[in-house]
């Protein structure tokens, strides 16, 4: 009788309450970020929220790797189900897997928000946070760099009253660098005294400038400890500019 019920249930497309579970189909639709962690590739999909994918590299020789759905594993972030529009993934020095949400302009791990980057890195005209790099600096501390992509905003996604002013101008990319200790969680507008490409100068020398511009790319490197982060005070960080002449 039980076998008959199970067969009838399957024919009806229903799952019986006891003794049967339907397998989840694991599929990556819009891969947006990747990192390696030991023998695994970690991947985020910006069409999926609150989770990432893990792919075992056993037997892979490259250079091309096919992400066979049968070998993919979805890893949920139990306390970060609200993390949407995931654009990057990495691993902190203390072993935590973290993902970057463009829509929420924040970093998340399995236990919730790790860092909130404030309004200055919010999405604007479909331009927002796209990249995350991490390196260990000792004692379980990580130095993280997050990238706000810049570029030309989507004209009709810019508020109407701002279109004439900035709708057709390129926005400078921004890299914000900060440290995260193993115990850090829920950090608001993280900051650090470190600024890439800089060395400390004697007091008698000319004061350091507030930003670094890299060649033609106009890549502004912002240190939040020197620049209070806030949309109303951000003109010197996220300055608007025309593309450089070639």
215: Cβ–Cβ under 8 A, 6 or more apart, which residues?
Answer: none
What is the pTM assigned to this prediction?
0.69
pLDDT tens-digit profile of 13-30? Answer: 434 444 444 456 788 999
Look at residue 23 in the predicted model and tell me its pLDDT: 52
Contact between 129 and 102 (Cβ < 8 Å): yes
Look at residue 240 in the predicted model and tell me its pLDDT: 38
Eight-state DSSP code of residue 156: G
State the chain's mean pLDDT as an integer. 77
Average pLDDT on 202-220 reads 44
Note the helical H segments in the chain. 2-12, 160-166
| Strand 220-222 with 174-180, pairing | parallel
Look at residue 204 in the predicted model and tell me its pLDDT: 44
Look at residue 61 in the predicted model and tell me its pLDDT: 85
Look at residue 190 in the predicted model and tell me its pLDDT: 79
Look at residue 18 in the predicted model and tell me its pLDDT: 45
Q: Give which of 130, 122, 92, 103 is closest to 238, Cα–Cα.
A: 122
In angstroms, the CA 175 to CA 66 distance is 32
In angstroms, the CA 228 to CA 224 distance is 6
84: Cβ–Cβ under 8 A, 6 or more apart, which residues?
Answer: 49, 50, 101, 103, 104
Query: What b/e readout covers 90-104, taking b as 16+ CB neighbours within 10 angstroms?
Result: bbbbbebbbbbbbbb
In angstroms, the CA 19 to CA 12 distance is 16
Contact between 155 and 125 (Cβ < 8 Å): yes
Neighbours of 166 (CB within 10 A): 17
Contact between 39 and 22 (Cβ < 8 Å): no
What residue spans define the domains of the chain? 84-197+206-241
């Amino acid at each position: 009788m039980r076998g008959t019920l199970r067969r009838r249930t399957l024919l009806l497309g229903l799952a019986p309450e006891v003794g049967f579970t339907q397998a989840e189909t694991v599929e990556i639709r819009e891969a947006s970020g990747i990192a390696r962690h030991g023998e695994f590739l970690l991947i985020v999909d910006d069409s999926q929220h609150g989770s990432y994918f893990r792919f075992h590299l056993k037997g892979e020789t490259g250079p091309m790797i096919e992400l066979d759905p049968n070998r993919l594993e979805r890893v949920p972030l139990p306390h970060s189900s609200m993390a949407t529009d995931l654009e990057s993934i990495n691993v902190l020095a203390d072993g935590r897997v973290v993902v970057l949400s463009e829509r929420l302009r924040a970093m998340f791990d399995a236990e919730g928000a790790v860092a909130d980057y404030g309004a200055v890195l919010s999405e604007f005209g479909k331009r927002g946070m796209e990249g995350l790099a991490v390196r260990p600096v000792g004692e379980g501390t990580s130095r993280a760099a997050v990238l706000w992509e810049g570029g030309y905003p989507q004209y009709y996604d810019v508020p109407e009253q701002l279109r004439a002013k900035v709708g057709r101008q390129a926005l400078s990319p921004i890299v914000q660098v900060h440290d995260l200790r193993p115990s850090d969680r829920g950090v608001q507008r993280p900051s650090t005294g470190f600024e890439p490409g800089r060395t400390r100068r004697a007091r008698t020398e000319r004061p350091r400038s507030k930003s670094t511009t890299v060649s033609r790319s106009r890549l502004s490197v912002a240190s939040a400890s020197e620049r209070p982060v806030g949309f109303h005070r951000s003109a010197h960080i996220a300055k608007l500019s025309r593309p450089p002449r070639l």
